[in-house]
Amino acid sequence: MQRKIFVVFLFFTLTNIQVMGQVPQVPQVIYFADMSLRLNEQARREIQADVNALYRNATYFQTKLDRVNLYMPIVERVLREQGVPEDFKYLVIQESSLIPDAVSTSNAVGFWQFKKGTAEEVFMRVDNQVDERKNIVSSTRGAAAYLKKHQNHLDNWACALVSYQMGLGGARGYFKDQFKGKRTMDIDRNSHWYLKKFLAHKIAFDGQTGRLVSNGNFLHEYPVKGPTTLSAVAKTLGVSESHLKEYNKWTNGQIPGDRTYVVTYILKDIAPVRPAIASSQSPTPDARVQPARRNAQGFPRVTGNQNKAVQPNEIRVNNIKGILALKDGSQTYLANQARVSERRIRKANDLKKSDPIQAGQYYYTKKKKAKAEVEEHIVQPGETLWQISQLYGIRLHSLKAKNRIYKDKDLQPGMVLKLRGYLKRNEEIPMARQLPMAQNPAPPQNREVAENKTPTVTTSTNSGSQSSGPAASPPPRQNSEEYLVQPGDTLYAISRKHGITIDQLKTWNNLGDDHIIKVGQKLIIHK
């Protein structure tokens, strides 16, 4: 008996030693959001102790890591859409360990740990039917709105992070104007504990995110406009009602019709998508299925003064004048908010008189275009033709005509719709083999993307490209890329994305040790 106990003890000891051997070490400088945080030795040791503690129990860490990698693709996407640095994704781990119905001692609830009043301030519904604090999409949008509001006052993402714990008033009193506008901070034993705890989570999980969940699960999204029930949605998705209840603790089983909600569910793989429209002359389903692909990211593109998005003439949505709806309600309210006629609101957005306005959604105040900026869109579960037309700023009748599809019931996930050209005569709508929804999500109705949200592009060997940093970047050479810095980017994140070192990135772009990259800055990446 003693020998068995010793063997079990030895097994767990060796397991933990193995995990501890993989514990990341805290560097002297941590890049967070658009900032450099410089740690003295005491602060570094303090944060390292927290990192070690997170890794101490291998089983517990793997369980948490599975939840992280299940939900994180959705968290990252929503933060990008809302214009909040992706580094804040580690905050949701710190707050709730991504347990949807987590409740704190102060009665804060859900993924991002909101109290009821604060949740309602950022347009989340909390009542006996729906609690959006337990919805990963809604709560992440709410957290992003909350952080952006505080950032507008504090002008320092590290201070905004601390304000998440102590409130805006508390943070302003604590920091004063000491760090306002600063992009470099020194972290020592007197720095706020909440920031240091966050940095420990960032270091602990940074190299672990983006991996597959150990059991191969993927979290899928399914936008639903009620009124309906989880039972009805379960039948549509081909999963059990109990399964949906487990991954949608935000609802009591009823989905109201006041707005679009996102239902999440688990699938281990993607079933082949059969063609929705077929004829006796059409090719076989397999012949029409295209290779796996993703939709273009960053739509709708929102530019202008996003801090005043609820005011008229302040933003453009897909390069069309638009506005962010402040409240749920009638078209009359939105027309008054935008200072235009109801007729213009309906015409610009392809709305019927009875269609309600949804808070947090972008609407156009000028006519949409006949074609979109991108060539195609892959239909996601639950999408409608109207949602797709709003997403890209294309007129609804143009979208229908280009694809010769006129009713939502004829849409099926995986259809590749044309957004610029037209289907040829007798041409069938092609089908794309879909990627996991967590990587290629259905577009939600509330998107806010920072200006210049441009993907990495391959450039020619033209010289003369300038960095917005202190010195000119070296000209791109053969097999080089020009990368445009995005909101939330850090040198570390960019180096990981391209499989290079930070030192290489600095050398290629003449960046000093204290240089802070800026959104819109061009960096050269040599392959």
Rounded Cα distance between 473 and 509, Å, is 5
In the chain the domains, ranked by start, together with CATH numbers, are 24-130+145-206 (1.10.530), 274-451 (3.10.350.10), 457-526 (3.10.350.10)
- pLDDT tens for 461-479 read 332 333 333 333 344 445 6
Cis peptide before 227 (omega within 30 of 0): yes
Q: Which of 67, 221, 244 has the alpha carbon at shortest distance from 138? A: 221
Is residue 436 over pLDDT 70? no
Cα 75 to Cα 143, 249, 307, 431, 472: the distances in Å are 10, 17, 22, 28, 35
Query: 261: part of which helix (H) or strand (E)?
Result: strand 260-267
Tokens of 73: 């693709």
Q: 164 or 300: whose pLDDT is higher? A: 164
**Local structure of 51: helix, strand or coil:** helix
User: 3-state SS of 296-325?
Assistant: CCCCCCEEECHHHCCCCCCEEECCEEEEEC
HSE toward the beta carbon, residue 154, CA cutoff 13 A? 27
Q: How far apart are CA 237 and CA 266, in angstroms?
A: 10
List, in sequence order, every residue forming a beta bridge with 357; answer none if it has no partner: 329
State the pLDDT at residue 226.
85
- Rounded CA gap, 505 and 51, in Å? 27
Mean pLDDT of 274-282: 29
Q: What is the pLDDT of residue 496?
A: 57
Closest CA to 406 of 382, 389, 430, 427: 389
Bridge partner residues of 114 (DSSP): 109
pLDDT per residue over 43-68, tens digit each? 999 999 999 999 998 888 888 888 88
pTM for this prediction: 0.53
Which of 199, 189, 205, 202 is closest to 47 using CA atoms? Answer: 199
pLDDT over threshold 90, residue 347: yes
Query: 189 to each of 47, 160, 288, 504, how far by Cα in Å?
Result: 10, 19, 62, 32
